Structure 1
């Protein structure tokens, strides 16, 4: 699987060019291999859903791979299987301006692709369950906004959302699309070619490309900006955790979709002192 993504400025507009080399369509690039469906397992799931009256669903990265977003752990196609690269750490982002520069340069290139992705049938099915009164609450570990795009409203984004940006100093929140326009204005002649995709809108760039990228700061106070997401090494807001726990207690059944649960977001913090979130 080869991937190339080019972003460059040309005559007051930004041009994006993607080239894929794969035996599958782009939406299937990051879908891990799986055995054929077992009809009996399908019937078992159908019975479970039918009997549920207050169903809580928790989703993870695996539900979005068919929309074209890579995950971390899937066999052969996840980030850890394809590369030796690791996701950004919360503490590193806070401490280091060069790391923030690298993050935003890569995110700037990846944003047009990431923000254009659309829900797949699994997202639409969960939204439909909500509309029919079957789904009581939806909790997602994903930051891609695909559940929102599919129309889900009874939703908690446990790890935040890439479509929002926060100032680390004053807390000002702005849409990610508005920040993209500011980046374009600050980098009118900058261009880059990414050599690979990572989860959550990240791409791979060379250090030479990164070093010439100009990073925007908060328009209100001049402070550093961060996407409104929980990076590895950070913790989920305790109020949000308590809110989800109350929804779990109110539910009569729990369905986990597309998550290995290896980030331990589902466990009380006192049981998982070394958890990532």
Structure 2
């Protein structure tokens, strides 16, 4: 029997942010964003919407399917949930591993190369900013390519874990693929959680050093971002004249706090996202458009 999803806290159930009636939002175009940001240094805060054009679906865009990400509490408390997660991740991480940066990622690299962009704070775990060539990146929610033991604290590579899981579950990946399909055909969430159902026979691995519980080095819903990482992100916002937010609904406080911080400091905040975001009332300018095209325009015009 497959584990049934337990109810999540309301914050995590919300797939899209809806602004209260009467909220004032200053909407504009990509050209307006160029005008707002011209002559300023920028820090970028990015979310899953930046990676959708690389083939990784997001959680909350208007066209995204319903998703209920696993919480930290579920992962550590329920062996069936961990088995289910690792089975899906074992397939999904390979798809993320084969994705490539898109023009939006490369636009941020170009801005950084010209000294306009101080760096990127990303809520994504896909490493596409680094793959594109960004040099100053804070992976706010961790990275998909590393695994940590919750008992001894050792960090190992996801590639090493894949070898161990293949040995424990020979033929598993092939068994969940339709005839002629590859891992790139499997629907996968931003945290490399593949949409497959038959996982009850999957054998997860334990830490090869102490036998402890393994977890992706990713900040789950219900888990706190390490304080040192948050402080570095605040400092990156402080070092720039403006904050550019791209591809996130800012539904959770993890990213919203940096928008609030910038707005409180009187810095221009430009938000680029399809659909409403929780930070829209704080934005100097909101561009309701795709991130790839808008970031490319900024790179060309700034």
Instruction: Give the TM-score of the pair, scaled to structure 1.
Output: 0.76
In 1, the alpha carbon distance for the partners of 2:168 and 2:229 equals 35
**Structure 1 residues 149-160: aligned runs within 5 Å:** 149-160=131-142
Equivalent position of 1:62 in the other structure: 49
In 2, the alpha carbon distance for the partners of 1:145 and 1:268 equals 22
In 2, the alpha carbon distance for the partners of 1:71 and 1:159 equals 15
State the number of aligned residues.
223
In 2, the alpha carbon distance for the partners of 1:237 and 1:160 equals 10
Residues 1:203 and 2:194 are matched in the alignment: yes
Candidates 87, 99, 103, aligned match of 2:81: 99
CA displacement, residues 8-59 of structure 1 (integer Å, 9 cap, x when unaligned): xxxxxxxxxxxxxxxxxxxxxxxxxxxxxxxx7232222233221x311100
In 2, the alpha carbon distance for the partners of 1:189 and 1:137 equals 42
**Structure 1 residues 169-248: aligned runs within 5 Å:** 169-190=151-172, 191-193=175-177, 196-206=187-197, 209-248=198-237
CA displacement, residues 105-127 of structure 1 (integer Å, 9 cap, x when unaligned): 00111122111000000001111
Conserved 8 A contact 1:193-1:205: no
Candidates 134, 141, 145, aligned match of 2:127: 145
Q: SS state of the match for residue 156, structure 1?
A: strand
Higher relative contact order (CA 8 A, sep 6+): 2
Range moving further from structure 2, 188-197 or 103-112: 188-197
Would the alpha carbon gap of residues 59 and 268 (structure 1) be closer, same or farther in structure 2, given more than 3 Å must change? closer
In 2, the alpha carbon distance for the partners of 1:218 and 1:65 equals 33
In 2, the alpha carbon distance for the partners of 1:214 and 1:180 equals 12
In 2, the alpha carbon distance for the partners of 1:218 and 1:243 equals 30
Conserved 8 A contact 2:126-2:190: no
Q: How much has 1:183 moved relative to structure 2?
A: 0.7
Give the strand-richer structure, 1 or 2: 1
Conserved 8 A contact 1:166-1:227: yes
Q: SS state of the match for residue 146, structure 2?
A: strand
Candidates 51, 71, 75, aligned match of 2:62: 75
Residues 1:265 and 2:245 are matched in the alignment: no
Candidates 32, 46, 65, aligned match of 1:44: 32
Q: How much has 1:233 moved relative to structure 2?
A: 1.2
Q: SS state of the match for residue 143, structure 2?
A: strand
Conserved 8 A contact 1:79-1:198: no
Instruction: Give the TM-score of the pair, scaled to structure 2.
Output: 0.70
Would the alpha carbon gap of residues 267 and 71 (structure 1) be closer, same or farther in structure 2, given more than 3 Å must change? closer
